[in-house]
């Protein structure tokens, strides 16, 4: 069960990370990335940020590597931007829900077309 505070902090972190990646992170591996949602621990010390990246599988892996390398910088900048007692440790995880939904839609369309 997520409290209102957890949801608010998660939204603020997503907004801040998105802004930082867009304006301050100059890693060319991190491009065409969208941060979709986040899950934060009850003590607000750990956050898992889900993202969606465009491109081939190799480009998506490079994006994951770039985000992993930028974790320290992003956490430090989050500490400056957010007023929290503890800056949460960041973990990035690829969100493939859009791709799965597209695949299901195509399968349903193909199945419906055969009838």
> What domain range includes position 108?
4-114
Q: Is the separation of the CB atoms in 38 and 49 below 8 Å?
A: yes
Total domains in the chain come to 1
CATH number, residue 43:
3.30.300.20
pLDDT at 115: 53
Print burial letters for 4-31: b (CB count within 10 Å at least 16), e (below 16).
eebeebbebbbebbeebbeeebeeebbe
Residue 47 DSSP label? E
Instruction: Encode pLDDT of 39-65 as tens digits.
Output: 999 999 999 999 999 889 999 999 999
Specify the 3-state DSSP secondary structure of 4. Answer: helix
CB atoms within 10 A of CB 63: 23
pTM, two decimals, is: 0.84
């Amino acid at each position: 069960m997520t409290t209102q505070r957890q949801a608010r902090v998660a939204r603020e972190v997503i907004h801040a990370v998105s802004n930082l990646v867009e304006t301050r992170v100059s890693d060319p591996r991190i491009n065409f990335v969208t941060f979709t949602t986040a899950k934060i621990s009850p003590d607000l010390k750990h956050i898992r940020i889900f993202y969606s990246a465009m491109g081939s599988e190799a480009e998506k892996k490079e994006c994951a590597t770039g985000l992993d390398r930028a974790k320290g910088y992003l956490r430090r900048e989050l500490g400056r931007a957010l007023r929290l007692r503890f800056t949460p440790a960041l973990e990035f995880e690829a969100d493939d829900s859009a791709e799965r939904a597209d695949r299901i839609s195509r399968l349903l369309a193909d199945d419906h077309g055969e009838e």
